[in-house]
């Protein structure tokens, strides 16, 4: 794959979905593009503002935080899967408030096993301290 083909393929991929530099690099490697061509294409796309990992990381973080269904660690894992940096200046969701609403919506605390609730919250990326507080555990 030469530069022109790699650039055209990159633009087609970016029209489908915003991609991070790491995601686009992986997709081009999977299509047998050479590293020097990939680097040139990525440099061009950065100059043209088609790739901006910092902006994308902020948008992805805000998207998941706005859904009010996930804790900070879940969102950070989503960013890592997309090869994005963790934004330092983004407002973290109020995990306690979000977890409280989720538990009230999904479970009847009197009838459910607290371990099940803890597992549910853990899989959604809430910290152990928030889970303990929600369940009133003194462990």
pLDDT, greater one: 138 or 84: 84
- CATH number of the domain bearing residue 19: 1.10.10
Tokens 């009847």 map to which residue? 108
Number of structural domains, the chain? Answer: 2
Q: For residue 77, is it within any domain?
A: no
Domain contains 122: yes
- Evaluate whether 135 touches 118 at the Cβ level (below 8 Å): yes
- Asked if 79 contacts 85 with a C-beta cutoff of 8 angstroms, the reply is yes
Contacts of 29 (CB under 8 A, 6+ apart): 35, 38
Q: Which domain holds residue 25?
A: 3-51
Q: Would 87 be classed as within a structural domain?
A: no
What pLDDT does residue 139 have?
45
**Residue 26 forms part of a structural domain:** yes
Three-point CA angle 53, 56, 62, nearest 5°: 140
Q: What is the pLDDT of residue 112?
A: 76
Residue 78 within a domain:
no
65, part of any domain: no
Segment 78-119, tens digit of pLDDT:
999 999 999 988 888 899 999 999 998 888 766 678 889 999
Neighbours of 52 (CB within 10 A): 15
For the entire predicted model, the pTM comes to 0.84
Average pLDDT rounded to a whole number, residues 68-74:
94
Burial label, 133 (beta-carbon count in 10 A; 0-12, 13-18, 19+): middle
Classify residue 137 as exposed, middle or buried by CB count within 10 Å of its CB (0-12, 13-18, 19+).
exposed
Report pLDDT for 108.
Answer: 73
Does residue 90 belong to any structural domain of this protein?
no
Q: Work out the average pLDDT over 58-74.
A: 94
């Amino acid at each position: 794959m030469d530069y022109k083909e790699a650039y055209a393929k990159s633009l087609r991929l970016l029209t489908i979905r915003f991609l991070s530099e790491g995601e686009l690099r992986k997709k081009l490697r999977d299509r047998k593009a050479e590293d020097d061509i990939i680097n040139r294409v990525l440099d061009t796309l950065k100059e043209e503002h088609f790739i901006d990992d910092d902006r994308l990381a902020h948008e992805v973080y805000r998207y998941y935080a706005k859904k009010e269904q996930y804790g900070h660690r879940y969102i950070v894992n989503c960013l890592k899967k997309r090869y994005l940096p963790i934004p330092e200046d983004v407002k973290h969701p109020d995990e306690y408030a979000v977890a409280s609403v989720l538990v009230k919506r999904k479970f009847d605390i009197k009838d459910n096993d607290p371990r099940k609730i803890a597992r549910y919250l853990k899989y959604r990326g809430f910290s152990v301290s928030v889970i303990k507080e929600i369940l009133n555990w003194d462990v």
